[in-house]
Structure 1
């Protein structure tokens, strides 16, 4: 078993090792949010056989890492897990025996309407489970509200809506998230077959991890969870078995840090000072004498 790392040495690190072995590095009750995207067991090539197990072995392994990870979570912590409809029923039952389920979120990947199966309906979504340890879990809805468009605000302009907070701050994102998958030409795309968009991961981080909190990802992949955490002012810790993906993560983190440093170094545009113009005294209004109007005249 891996010995626990010295205090705080485990934070903001991606450990290039098996999560089941490396979790011993993290103290119990130290993580605010577990956000992870494990292999779906659909036969993809991640440089190892992690996605090519028998159904029984896959479910046994899933239960094993769940039991190893949950003690790391704080009492008011949460968990998000990406999965596929093929295994979500079994995995959700495992988690419901240990936590309270708050949502089944459907991620609509916006797959183009072409190709697909001819013997069933085309699968165009991923399933996400949102679980919590107890009722007083951390959740910041205002951080992830979606602004209403101008047309909606105009339609709600009647007096009964004036001052309504929900109209000003935006609406709840609901449990159907329509966010395009990352195409090969997308600037955010890294060399990973199942990379998730930053938009989705940041929504989870902002909603379910307090500022300065810690996000744990057991299967880092391309490192999107780490990038999202740093962009949102949170810390992270994660594991990734594939050394090539570990290198990609380090490159992405370094590039993001460099970009943030460059942005911070750019001074804010100075406001141009304009010479104050002397006040111009308006001419007094001319008084005109109106002719008397007889009281019985039509006006």
Structure 2
């Protein structure tokens, strides 16, 4: 597809996973077409993703982060948002870089519920990931009601006084806080695919429901095992993404196929090599 056709209403880039570098592939997507970016880039910790994508030194890593951010952000609508998974080692520098381009709404702490076994003997054990929530402008899309956490029956009963009757917050639940306690996907977890840093569906679905309208499009520049695509389809949204590792692309195709063609709405073009 050439640049001219992309900028004239073509939508055949939707619901596709491209097995290529996002820095090259983002040109396939028209500017201002994406509602939400969910990014889980390499953390700069030397993880093995079947390539050298996580083996940069600190300066090169931060330059690379800025490079892909500057390529991805023009794809967002004015009402769009970005969630980015990071490690505490680089979050401060990356947050400063992003705050020069967007408005930061939250620093979310993902408590991975790591068991209290072993760990460092010369520092406190790291048991969390950092997530940045950024928006393009004041009128960003955010659906709080879609992600409220229901109160249990005991709490509702304790709020039975007349001043609470009919209160929306009591009926629908409370606003999720900025610490998300969700178990990491251990080796035997039913969601687990063959990927070293797979994120739980519970976390990504919360992002999608809150920050992408129904029928909207979620972009993931680093698809990995495809959790963002699966979350989008389960939530009635479209997706587009990029992944360098062809083995991970096959895992994504299998996970999407397991949802059923009618249920997730993707066709023969879901995977693009």
TM-score normalised by L of structure 2:
0.93
Alignment correspondent of 2:217: 214
Aligned length: 260
CA shift for structure 1 position 88: 0.3
Greater RCO, 1 or 2 (C-alpha within 8 Å, sep 6+): 2
Kindly report structure 1 stretches of 4+ aligned residues shifted beyond 4 Å.
258-261
- Measured at CA, do residues 184 and 136 of structure 1 come closer, stay the same or move farther in structure 2, by a change above 3 Å? same
Alignment correspondent of 1:21: 24
Structure 2 residues without counterparts, runs of 5 or longer: 265-273
Give a deviation string over 1:186-216, Cα, whole Å, max 9, x none.
Answer: 1111000000000000000000000000000
Alignment correspondent of 1:276: none
Of 157-166 and 202-211, deviating more is 157-166
Is residue 70 of structure 1 aligned with residue 70 of structure 2?
no
Is residue 130 of structure 1 aligned with residue 133 of structure 2?
yes
Is residue 117 of structure 1 aligned with residue 131 of structure 2?
no
Matches within 5 A, 1:260-271: 260=263
Separation (CA, whole Å) in 2 of partners of 1:65 and 1:41: 14
TM-score normalised by L of structure 1:
0.85
| Rg larger for | 1
Give a deviation string over 1:6-25, Cα, whole Å, max 9, x none.
Answer: 51111000000000000000
2:252 to 249, 253, 259: 249
Structure 1 residues without counterparts, runs of 5 or longer: 262-299
Alignment correspondent of 1:38: 41
- Helix, strand or coil at the partner of 2:225: coil
RMSD over aligned CA atoms reads 1.3
Is residue 145 of structure 1 aligned with residue 138 of structure 2?
no
2:226 to 223, 226, 234: 223
Separation (CA, whole Å) in 2 of partners of 1:135 and 1:202: 23
